[in-house]
Chain A
Amino acid sequence: MIELSALKYKYKNNLSYALNGVNLSINSGEKILIAGKNGAGKTTLSKILAGIIPLLEGHGAMEGEALYNSRPYSGYIYGELRGKISLLFQDFEGQIVSTTVKEELVFYPMNLGRTYGESLGAAKGLAADFGISGLLDRNIAELSGGEKQKTAILSLMTARPEILILDEPLTDLDPYSQEAALEMIKNFKGTLIVFEQSVDCYEYFDRILIMKDGALISGGGKETAGEVLSLDESGIGAPEIFRAAGGYFPSLKSACGAIEKNYIFDAEKYSRMSAEKISPAAIIQVKNLSFAYPGAPENALSGVSFEIKKGEFLAVVGANGSGKTTLMKIIAGIYPDFSGGEIYYNGVSIRRQMAPGRAGYVYQNPDNQIFSETVFDEIAFALRVKGAAESGVREKVNAIMKTFGLTDCSGADPFSLPKGDRQKVACASVLVTEPQVIILDEPTTGLDRNSYDALMEIIRDLNSRGRTIVAITHSMEAAAGFGDRILALSGGRVVYEGDKKKFFRDGALVKAANVKPTGLMEASMELNGNILLNYGEFAQCWRKK
């Protein structure tokens, strides 16, 4: 159905090839996962498969062959592909065209000439499958990040295309919604091609392909997700459970069997590691906070009380729409008008008077944060506002660009960068002033393994130098990697605040917070009832026999 051979693509004004010899043949009905790190060429490939390059965006040079139904893509007019191939952009917010969810869901099928009744029927059916029927009448501008992503995915599926191509569709979804989305696209009757940074959702696909430096370098069935070494080499990283078990295992039981055979548990290390640490004094206290968006029928937050300790690294988790972003924007002083409760910063109430800028806030979507013309100016902005001398600004900006690996794009337009790099620019532009409290709203979305590790390194370093870090995340691996404490929200209320191990051990609690333990956590519970949060802890407690 799709046939690519020796396909190369070079963007205008670029020296290097974004795609460099892709060979791929896709049959009707296949479910394919293509994983690759930042800059591997996933987005370019997705646009070519959808015919957007070269038919709508053809500013570059294409070599080799790209056929759809045995005819070169370049021989089509885009209108002929309409309704047959659908692409979810990586920037899903930019792809939204309507005001309400319902209008967005019927837009595509109606533009294909289907009746309103039929289109609405498809929209309602899919929304019910995905559990977002309650959002149909909402304004899209007033949805949470994950709710927007769900809308964007469904707005393509309502058109019932033959081929559905999704460029990182899971970034902003909570673990249950990820599962629901994967389940839904698995049942999709057509060809499915999903691009991801990792192979974590391998279970749902027939074929897994690894992309590196503009080419597809290897691939196979589900067992590809267990090829730890080659995945590491491609900068992707295998699921932690396979790293621990040393390869692919089809079930949790079999993975546990392999671990027991090869490793021995060090109980003493474990108890030392799991001793609860005494926590320091609070830097921010939130007491009984309530907040409703203007005109919204329900509170986004109700009766929220918790503390952020000085110098800690707090992970915040919860389902889509549970109020994480809202809560953190209030603490950062972006929404100063909260209706009930108090927030204390070092013991002083900051009601309606927090000078923004004291707590740094990195946005969920970097595109909502970036506004300068060059990467350098973007990062320098906060320093310049503070009136820092230009020489000092240059020094600091250059230093942070180096840590983030952004030096090469110092003069580039931040909007022209790939999403992962935009994310880094957004982080750098806030971290550069080293605020006392740093709040990161899903900082790891769109980052591959190495960039993620690098970002964590920078954040840990700031943390060890006394900065307080709060990170919202949907990735339980990330949540397990951050600090000791966790805050879990559900429906605008706090369901848990405290030690992370206690949280992940308590199945009912984890469920109430709508999150899931990682495969590795489940495996360590299964093995001996102890909980290990991440591969680092695993490697400490389980020694090779």
Chain B
Amino acid sequence: MSYFFYKKQDTFLHRLDPRTKIVSLLLLFTIAAATREIYIQIVFMLSLIALFFASRSTGSLRRMGTLFGTIAFMTFILWLFFYDGRVKMFSAGPVVIYKGAFYFSALFALRFVNLLLSGLLFLSVASIEDFSDSLVLFGVPYGVAFTFSLSFRLVTVFATAGSAIVEAQKVRGNDPDRGGILSRIRSYVPLLIPLIINGIKKAEILTLALESKGFSPGNKINLKGKYKFTAYDALVICAMFALSAAAIAAALA
């Protein structure tokens, strides 16, 4: 019951060097963005899902599945109507669907989902510390790297505050998860204000907490010995580069 996707585990994806994780994420994005073939996008999606299983992170998938599905569906519908082709296939009043719209809507929906899945996979196997440490290892100043990771921390702070409020209200007889989607939305709206106020307060405490533990943006930290870039990492990075090069080449051809 943690409010973030990352969970400390011992799988080959979790064990990767944080630099490998972040470079792989960028390359996964590249593949998703470059690929124009639906069937490759489908294979890509299935491979991503397989990686969720391999890293024992299907929990994240379950939590976000419905949301991603909805997003994919909406993308599909939107592109169906907005796709601007040459040959009309169907028209009724102002609604026009052009030839090729189905293909492109499906492609865009898949591409979008694959981008989201890649991000989710990264969040499931890389901790906040992995993220800021990898930036530091790439030479980004600690203050800047940490500020980036701070936004993740704040998301956690807000999410934790949110679920705490929902739980606290449930105990006192107000169950916002009851009923259909509309009544749920209605009962979540009044939670927003306390959530924001609480979140801001907790964020303020977090700033003080960081300073009380020696943090300052100008600090330099010495990560030597924390991570080891292994042959295995090199292999993963090479494979990822090869795949994305292939994806780009295919897109240009």
Contact = CB atoms under 8 A, between A and B. Distances in A.
A141 B223 contact: no
A115 interface: yes
Nearest to B164: A368
A62 to B, nearest CB: 18
Contacts of B214: 82-83, 107-109, 111-112, 159
Contacts of A109: 214
A371 B2 contact: no
Nearest to A111: B214
A91 B128 CA distance: 23
Interface size, A (range):
35 or more
Contacts of A72: none
Interface string A75-101: 000110011001101010011111110
A32 B3 CA distance: 39
Nearest to A384: B174
B7 to A, nearest CB: 6
Given A334-B171, A371-B169, A114 B212 contact: no
A538 interface: no
A278 interface: no
B226 interface: yes
Contact of A86 (B3, B59, B153, B212): B212
Most buried by B among A83, A138, A357, A360: A357
A134 interface: no
Given A99-B129, A116-B226, A295-B7, A373 B197 contact: yes
Given A141-B4, A356-B170, A115 B225 contact: yes
A103 interface: yes
Given A371-B165, A385-B173, A385-B174, A56 B211 contact: yes
Contact of B8 (A86, A138, A333): A138
A182 interface: no
A332 B171 CA distance: 7
A110 B8 contact: no
A78 B171 contact: no
A256 B3 CA distance: 53
Contact of A361 (B171, B215, B223): B171
Interface in B195-222: 195, 197-198, 201-202, 205-206, 208-216, 219-222
B208 A52 contact: yes
A111 B209 CA distance: 13
A415 interface: yes
Contacts, number: 153
A360 B59 contact: no
A139 B212 contact: no
Given A115-B222, A139-B7, A430 B212 contact: no
A156 B214 CA distance: 10
A386 B164 CA distance: 20
A357 B174 CA distance: 8
Nearest to B3: A141
Given A89-B212, A295-B7, A117 B225 contact: yes
A139 B2 contact: yes
Given A96-B209, A113-B220, A369 B168 contact: yes
A57 interface: yes
Contact of B205 (A94, A100, A156): A94
Interface string A354-390: 0111001101000011111100000001100110000
A334 B213 contact: no
Interface in B76-102: none
Contacts of A82: 214, 216
Contact of A99 (B127, B206, B215): B127
B194 A372 contact: yes
Nearest to A372: B194
A94 B205 CA distance: 6
Contacts of A159: 213-214
Interface residues of B, number: 51
A526 B101 CA distance: 89
A83 B216 CA distance: 12
Given A99-B128, A115-B225, A415-B201, A78 B165 contact: no
Contacts of A112: 214
A141 B208 contact: no
Interface in B4-26: 4, 6-8
Most buried by B among A82, A295, A332, A371: A371
A112 B164 CA distance: 33
B172 to A, nearest CB: 4
A381 B128 contact: no
Contacts of B220: 113
A137 interface: yes
Contact of B221 (A110, A138, A139): A110
A294 interface: yes
A285 interface: no
B175 interface: yes
B213 A115 contact: no
A263 interface: no
Contacts of A89: 209, 212
Contacts of A100: 8, 127, 129
Interface string A22-56: 00000000000000000000000000001010001
B8 A111 contact: no
Nearest to B163: A368
B1 interface: yes
B172 A382 contact: yes
Contacts of B212: 50, 52, 56, 86-87, 89, 95
A155 interface: yes
A97 B149 CA distance: 11
A333 B173 CA distance: 11
B208 A368 contact: no
A368 B4 contact: no
Contacts of A110: 221-223
A334 B221 contact: no
Given A94-B205, A94-B206, A293-B1, A155 B219 contact: no
A141 B128 CA distance: 14
B224 interface: yes
Interface in A392-441: 415, 429-430, 433
Nearest to A98: B129
A196 to B, nearest CB: 20
Given A139-B7, A357-B171, A382-B172, A97 B208 contact: no
B1 A111 contact: no
Interface of B: 1-4, 6-8, 59, 127-129, 153, 160, 164-165, 167-175, 191, 193-195, 197-198, 201-202, 205-206, 208-216, 219-226
14 contacts: A82-B214, A95-B212, A99-B129, A111-B213, A116-B223, A141-B1, A141-B2, A360-B172, A370-B168, A371-B168, A373-B194, A373-B197, A381-B174, A385-B169
Given A52-B208, A332-B171, A372-B194, 16 more contacts: A52-B212, A56-B212, A94-B205, A97-B210, A100-B127, A108-B213, A113-B221, A114-B222, A139-B7, A293-B1, A334-B170, A371-B168, A371-B194, A382-B173, A385-B173, A430-B172
Q: Which 10 A-B pairs have the closest CB atoms?
A: A357-B173, A111-B214, A382-B172, A94-B205, A371-B194, A116-B226, A95-B209, A141-B2, A385-B174, A108-B213
